[in-house]
Structure 1
């Protein structure tokens, strides 16, 4: 696989992805249903997919324009399998603001004929979008949305979680580290629905494992100065300082952690949510040794590497787990539309639930009653600089976390869908 060593300059990647974003926002035609009666059941004779996420802010590298690229690749592969279905993709930047996200999605559903929204990538925006999708009886599929409320207390028949939730991300590492004697934790978290929920889930997991939370501080989204938060963590007496933030926030947090010499101190840093682009942004000198849980990694096997090369050729960076999940969810959705001959939400969701996922992302995965896609996860550790042999191959996979162990029990769910299914 030939790649620039550093994935290309940031400016070149921005130029490339801007061009791809503009192209993907236009109509993308794929071929589909062969029977005329089936095509007639597609509203407006077109299937419309909307990608809404942070396109320009602190969470844009991990999804952003790259999610549009991933959707484009899913459409290419669908076209190769199924002739004649007209598909359009539209994209928007919600700027990590719930009111903007709601305005965009409402317009898409009510005026623009969008059938399915995918990605979202911000828990606060997702919770707001969930209610719109429920009211409109339209489908929304979440990629990097961490709050457990989205498939818990605020679950919806039309809201599917394709990537992870905060329980998946924190429960395994907490049990493992507490068992090793690292049982006092301090949290530095983003102050919105995601960070608040992640700390809540972490503290619950800590208590169950016999550990203790010795404090938590919350910073604004997009914060750039973490000195006061780090000093509080340093003086807390915690064994572990856990970062419940992501994107440029995690990158800046960890750079300042090293600048203050805390990387050589007695406390261990844990990134409760980290993405490949975060590691690339902070560099291995800063990131080495960090552990985390991921739903997917591009260097797992030949299939994941083949997709990664296609993605890299278009985007100039390797795909993150959220971007891979956008590919998977778009492809699975389009297969369901083709199989049912309609874009009517309940029929499509029923087909998506009946058919297991068949791709490189989560082969054999199925949707649970609470609308979580159930699949394996991976505990990973960031390599030392001397261990890096292939550009972007930043992780050592420590262990596979089987799907059966990765999710909170359905019997404990507070999702009304689970109750209706007789959990």
Structure 2
């Protein structure tokens, strides 16, 4: 090859993505749509915003030579408010991607809008499996957990320990409905039975009538298919009603570090839970989490860790794609490895579900806790194949398209 041609070839190979970058508005803008003041504010909220900001800071604040900007808003657990914010972000403010979105009803509404607008959404706080099943989107990525994962991890452990008859207290919206259904399937498949169920409004202050029904059912296990402050309130009032003292057990199908912090170890000890991450796993997670605590006053929930990992991966995909174009970024997200402090053996399936190692944990007794936020004993690692919806049963069109490809 002639020297001039060789030089031209090397120049092409060494050209940086920034030299060809196509970034809309000369800024990569990410919106954290979360719950700042409601029932899940402690496990999402300001912590989710901080997690996104930390991911941007670690990236150096720029990608493809363009500034990265974070904006945030509170959807108030209302689908119309959430979609109104998202529509303005997409149409007026130039937001390229949305992160977090606790509340499955809000998330499903955002999923439909983002599919129409061709914008990326990184779900950490939402739990419904519909996001990667019949309501899947090429632009939607379900990052941290879903109801299938936590119900299979926790309910199966409780049934194996002898909790064979259940009564459910479920929050009355998409998340609670799906969590109850998934846990019911696990219990019955393992040979257990469900004695009944009752649903309560979001952010319920008085669980007395629901707990009386649970007591009257005679079930060995009262399964809490709710989240955040609803779980904490239900567990506190169950203790006041003497459910455990009367021979019943509580199973919180989704329980977060902040919930345990609010309850106290004396009230929460012995409770099984399934989590996608834990701050105290190793030296690297401890170091990151101490920095997070310095900003927020708490250790990260798995949802906070999920926002951090999702935003980090999104920015890596923008860098690889050389653009913030959603189609190209979504393709890059599926191509590159998921690699952050809290993601082990993780990958992104065609339906947008991130499959990852999860952990079956048990809340420590007060005497076993050696330092602040030392709340969990890891019982075992749960491999990804035990906690994700089988693709063979998927109703997601993206899965069928991938199979044909």
Query: TM-score if structure 2 supplies the norm length?
Result: 0.93
Alignment of 1:213-232 (within 5 A): 213-232=194-213
Structure 1 residue 117 corresponds to structure 2 residue 117: no
RMSD: 1.6
| Partner in structure 2 of residue 365 of structure 1 | 346
Asked if 2 retains the 8 angstrom alpha-carbon contact of 1:48 and 1:89, the reply is yes
2-structure distance, mates of 1:69, 1:140: 18
> Which blocks of at least 5 consecutive residues in structure 2 are unaligned?
1-14
Q: Determine if contact 1:122/1:144 at 8 Å carries over to the other structure.
A: yes
What CA distance in whole angstroms lies between the structure 2 residues aligned with 1:80 and 1:49? 12
Q: Are 1:393 and 2:374 matched, yes or no?
A: yes
CA distance in 2, matches of 1:178, 1:385: 25
2:133 equivalent in structure 1: 152
3-state SS of the aligned residue for 2:98?
Answer: strand
TM alignment of 1:58-207, pairs within 5 A: 58-79=39-60, 84-207=65-188
Tell me if 1:321 matches 2:302.
Answer: yes
Please give the alpha-carbon distance, in whole angstroms, between the structure 2 residues aligned to 1:345 and 1:130: 14
Alignment of 1:21-36 (within 5 A): none
Contact 2:29/2:96 (<8 A) preserved? yes
Contact between 1:289 and 1:381, CA under 8 Å: does it hold in 2? yes
- Given that 1:56 and 1:64 are in contact with CA atoms closer than 8 Å, whether structure 2 keeps it comes out as yes
Q: Distance in 1 between matches of 2:259 and 2:128?
A: 20
What does residue range 271-290 of structure 1 map to in structure 2 within 5 Å?
Answer: 271-290=252-271
8 Å contact from structure 1 (residues 160, 373) kept in 2? yes
Distance 1:419 1:184 in 2: 38
Q: Distance in 1 between matches of 2:300 and 2:162?
A: 35
Pair 1:364–1:173, CA change in 2 (3 A): closer
The correspondence for 2:320, drawn from 329, 339, 359, is 339
Structure 1 residues 35 and 268 mapped into 2: Cα distance closer, same or farther (>3 Å)? Answer: closer
Matched, 1:349 2:330: yes
TM-score by length of 1: 0.89
Q: Give the equivalent residue in structure 2 for 1:38.
A: 20
Query: Does the aligned pair in 2 maintain the 1:230–1:257 contact within 8 Å?
Result: yes
Q: Deviations over 1:334-376 (max 9, x none)?
A: 1111122100011111111111112101044110111100101
- The number of residue pairs the alignment matches comes to 390
Structure 2: distance between partners of 1:73 and 1:176: 35
Secondary structure of 1:235 counterpart:
helix
Measured after TM superposition, the shift of residue 140 of structure 1 is: 0.4
Question: Secondary structure in 2 aligned to 1:414?
Answer: coil
Does 2:291 correspond to 1:310?
A: yes
Q: 2:386 corresponds to which residue?
A: 405
Q: What are the superposed Cα offsets for residues 307-340 of structure 1, whole Å, 9 maximum, x if unpaired?
A: 1011001111001000011011111111111122
Deviation at 1:80, TM superposition (A): 7.7
Of 34, 39, 44 in structure 2, the residue corresponding to residue 53 of structure 1 is 34
**Which structure's CA Rg is the greater one?**
2
Retained in 1: the 8 A contact 2:32–2:100?
yes
**Structure 1 residue matching 2:299: 3-state secondary structure:** coil
Query: Which of 242, 252, 268 is 2:233 aligned to?
Result: 252
- 1:174 touches 1:209 (CA, 8 Å); kept in 2? no
SS of aligned partner of 1:200: helix
CA distance in structure 2 between the partners assigned to 1:106 and 1:138 by the alignment: 11
1:221-242 CA distance string (max 9 Å, x none): 0101001111111110111100
Distance 1:46 1:397 in 2: 41
